[in-house]
Structure formats: C-alpha cells, structure tokens
Amino acid sequence: MERRDFIRGAAALALPLSLNGYTAKALGLSPMMESLGEISTATDRILVIVQLSGGNDGINTVIPLDQYSTYMALRANIAIPQDKVLKLNAATGLHPAMTGMKSLYDSGRLVVVQGVTYPSPNQSHFRGTDIWMSGSGFNQYVNTGWAARYLDSQFPNYPVGYPNASMPDPLAIQISAVPSLLLRETQGPLGINLSNPDDFYNLVSGIKAGNTDPLPNNAAGKQIAYIRQIQEQSQQYAKGIKAAADKAKNMATYPARGQNTLADQLAIVARLIAGGLKTRVYVVSMGGFDTHANQVNAADKTQGAHATLLGRLSDAITVFQNDLKLLNVDKRVLGMTFSEFGRRVASNGASGTDHGTAAPQFVFGSLVQPGIIGANSSLTDLTSGNLKMVNDFRDVYGSILKQWFQVNTKEYSNVFSRDMISLPIIQGSATTDVATPSAPSVTGLDVSVRNYPNPCSTATTIEYNLPNAGNVSLRVFDMEGRQVAATQEQFQSAGTYNIPISVENFTDGAYVYRLQTERGVLSGKMLVAR
C-alpha cells in the first residue's frame, strides 16, 4: 500500500490512531492548490466554532419584542413572558436563561446576526448540516468543508512536510469521536480529533495507549507496520498538545466536569491556546436542540429542556470568554455558533417546535463590532410558515475569513465560489469604518431599519426610527466592503426618517447599508436588479 493511497483510504475507513491516550483520525492529504504558491498567512488569530446540533429554536433564543403580540399568538404554549426577556434593545431580547451572554453583549463582546440561513433551505438534519459545514448552496453537493478549504489555502500540501518549524501543531482540533465535514478536504480531514475531554486529561496525565505486539512477516504485517509509522508521526502532535496543556491552567472557574459538556470542551480549548499551541481552528459541539416536544415546562415557560440547553450554552461561552481574558489571550480568539436550521414560527401541539429555516447566529470575542446585524425576521411575512432569510450564512463565514483572518480575494475565491456581502463583525473592518475602541460598551440600537422597494432598480428608500436624538451615520457598501454612498452624517432629533437612495449608478448585485448612532449599529441588505 502506497503512502498516498493509505492516507486517502484512511479517511474513508475512519481508522483510529492512538495518540498517547486519545483517539485521533488519520490525517488527510490535500494536494497543493495550483493557484496558490505562497506561504501560509502569518497570523496568531484563532477561530472557535460551536456547533448546536439538532436545529436550535432561534425565535425563543433571540425574541422579537417588536412583534411580541404576533409571537404570543403563534406559540402561546411555549412563549417566554415578555417581562422575563433579557432586553437587548426595544426590539430584541434574549431568553432569560442566557444571562451570561447578555453580560457579554452589554460589555461589547457579542454580535447577534439575525435571520441566518440560505436560499431554499433544507430541513433535513443530515443535508442541512452538510450545507452549513461545506458552505455550499441548497443544490450543490460538496464533499469538502469550508474551514478545511481555508486551511488548505494557508498550509498547502498538508500533511506532507508537517509538523515543521513554522507549523509544529495540528491545523485544527475537533473534540469529537469522528472528524466532521467541516474539516475535511478532498483526501481527508485537515486536523485531528480528541474523542472527548476525558481522553485529553488522560493525555495530560501521561496515561498512554498503544500496541507493540510483534507483526506477522506477510503483506498484512507490512500494512500494519505502515499504519504504526503514521501513528508515530501523529505522536508528535500529541507531544505538542501535552506540552501546551502543561504550560497553562484555566484561570476562570468552570462548571464541575461532566455538568456542562460544552464548558468541558471550551476549558480544553482555552488551556491549549494559552499554552501556545498554534492550531488555528477549534471545533466543539453540544446536542439536544431537536425540540419537537416538551420544549418548556407548562407551569413556567422560562424553564424546560430548551432553557437548560441555552443556559449551558450561555454559561459555557461566558466562562470561556472570561478565562481567555484572564489568560491574556482574548484578543486572539473569535468564536461563532451555528446550527443546521431554525424552527418553525408556530409551535406544535406537543409544546415543541418542528424543523424550520432561519435562526440567529452568535459571534463572540473581545474584538467584535458589538451589536445586532439585521432586523428581527418578520413573523408574518413567511414562506410556508417559515422565516425568510435576513443574512446568508456564507456572508458570516466570508466576513470572518476576510476581517479576522485577513484572507485576500484569491484565497477567498478558493473557499467560496460566490460573491459576499461583508457584514460588520470585527472592529475596524471595512464595513464598520471605525477605529478599534479599547473598551467597547455599546448596548445596541433601539431602532429598526429597512429599505423599500427591495429589490430595486433605480432608487430605494431606507427607513429608520430614532427613539433619542443623537449623531447618525448612514452609509452603503458594496460586497467588497467599499463605501458607495454616504447619505447621513449629522445630528438628528428623535423620530422616523425616510432617506431616498439613488442606485442608478450601482451595478446589479447585493449591497449592505449600515446605520450607526452613538449607541450601536444595525445593518441591512438590499439588491439592485434590472
């Protein structure tokens, strides 16, 4: 068996390798992309991806207070009482179990991206997950992950020649028994898997696993010897992981191990980052979000299965962020949640929700541009009882690649075969056009913003309301983040404003408009089509 053939087959067969007490999957071989001959990007920035498996009910996670009567009418048996909602602004609030993430929002470390999905969304768990992990459209079948394609553009020909002096550590680490599509390239996964937190602590404690039994002198024995050779190469990563873990200890107080599985995983991630591991992408997950029945307690709708999940999510992310800050690595780390779909607008008769479409995404970190991106999804303007798209999930991914990892246009095009709308996620990004504050304290806008008609051909009107007087900036950007119009840069009194925008000189395509006051920022999308 040739080495290249072995690595190609290993991904398909999911052969486990023993790395000093934890299971890692065989690393995949990815050929050098012909269009990229440059060295990997010099960055110490890290992305932590949090998967919420099962399809999270976004409407009970980020609650549309501006449509509360409609919300109550559509899901009276699971609706959160209005006075219990953790208010972000006049229009929007969080589930009462998410006190930690409310504190992150108030301290400027959380972005809420509204109504995230894609055109013609799929409501199958398996197909929906594949689409979100591959970064593809509903009618595209892609067998590589968007994060893997990014890593492949930065570290071509991996794992040949790795580990090396410039990249001694795994490109990605996923805490899961099997590698997901998210980190899979053409010939295998671009990273390693820690089966579970217990295996990590076995590694740190020096508990080893391995097999040194003598091999038969035949073809099978030679193949097993080769597998052990690859295993030995992987041991180098195990040593680096253990060395990083030995250098740092968690500073924040996490829940007792086993009480919050997401917190258990994030505690490991924080420790490895603080210990100096150069791994660029981490993937963690929590399940249980397929809440078809008994989503809430009948006697107290703020409690129940969904509340427990959201509380653990909020607690885990909050302690992780606080830990990173105490470890003085918080400005290097960005986190993002995703789930394969949201839930239907109307609840069902079993006090639950069925598979739906759009849902909010959370992006968290010390260098985010805090606030809410997009208005609440309409609860009345629906498609077959489901929410319409406000933001495309690939625009979230693409904005992170460009603003956080600073990928260039060529690198971006090798990850996504589509143009993007740049969303204001990272401080100082092209779409935000603001300097990085040392201590952001934005609490969000008490405003709504929309444009009509949309799509438009010659002109559109951007409508917004201001509850308080203040300085206002309204700008329009193209998909590359270039400003194409600035219509308001002035002090305005409280009230509703309708600002006409001529698009006669705009090329056909998508644009994003950004409204900023002294309290925060909101964005919306408009399409120019002729």
* Integer Rg of the chain from CA: 24
DSSP string, 375-386: PPPPSSS-BTTB
Last residue of a domain, one of 378, 413, 439: 439
∠ CA 72-102-104, rounded to 5°: 155
Is the separation of the CB atoms in 368 and 334 below 8 Å?
Answer: yes
- Looking at the fold, whether 404 and 520 belong to one and the same domain comes out as no
Specify the number of domains making up the chain.
Answer: 2
Is the separation of the CB atoms in 452 and 463 below 8 Å?
Answer: yes
Give the domain range for residue 97: 46-193+235-439
- Terminal C-alpha separation, the chain: 58
- Looking at the fold, whether 431 and 455 belong to one and the same domain comes out as no
- Looking at the fold, whether 475 and 505 belong to one and the same domain comes out as yes
State the pTM of this model: 0.74
- Looking at the fold, whether 363 and 506 belong to one and the same domain comes out as no
∠ CA 318-322-325, rounded to 5°: 145
The residue ranges of the chain whose pLDDT is under 70 are 1-43, 187, 207-215, 220-236, 429-448, 480-481, 488, 517-521
**What is each CA distance from 107 to 88, 269, 337, 425, 443, in whole angstroms?**
12, 22, 19, 15, 8
Give me the sign of the Cα torsion angle 496, 441, 81, 83: negative
- Looking at the fold, whether 349 and 319 belong to one and the same domain comes out as yes
CATH of the domain at 80: 3.40.720
Alpha helices in 45-115 (DSSP H): 68-74, 99-106
- Looking at the fold, whether 420 and 484 belong to one and the same domain comes out as no
Beta strands in 406-458 (DSSP E): 449-452
With respect to residue 230, please indicate whether it lies within any of the assigned structural domains.
Answer: no
- The whole-angstrom separation of Cα 351 and Cα 1 is 56
With respect to residue 9, please indicate whether it lies within any of the assigned structural domains.
Answer: no
- Looking at the fold, whether 142 and 112 belong to one and the same domain comes out as yes
**What does the pLDDT read at residue 203?**
74
Is the separation of the CB atoms in 429 and 475 below 8 Å?
Answer: no
With respect to residue 79, please indicate whether it lies within any of the assigned structural domains.
Answer: yes
Which has the closest alpha carbon to 178: 304, 393, 17?
A: 17
Which has the closest alpha carbon to 154: 144, 166, 136, 165?
A: 166
CATH of the domain at 495: 2.60.40.1930
**What does the pLDDT read at residue 331?**
95
**What does the pLDDT read at residue 237?**
80
With respect to residue 455, please indicate whether it lies within any of the assigned structural domains.
Answer: yes
- Looking at the fold, whether 386 and 243 belong to one and the same domain comes out as yes
Last residue of a domain, one of 439, 467, 492: 439
Residues 114-151 have pLDDT tens digits of 999 999 999 999 999 999 999 999 999 999 999 999 99
Residues 355-413 have pLDDT tens digits of 999 999 999 999 999 999 998 999 999 999 999 999 999 999 999 999 999 998 888 88
- Looking at the fold, whether 422 and 509 belong to one and the same domain comes out as no
DSSP string, 261-318: HHHHHHHHHHHHHHTT----EEEEEE-----SS--S-SS-TTSSHHHHHHHHHHHHHH
**What does the pLDDT read at residue 27?**
27
- Looking at the fold, whether 140 and 250 belong to one and the same domain comes out as yes
With respect to residue 17, please indicate whether it lies within any of the assigned structural domains.
Answer: no
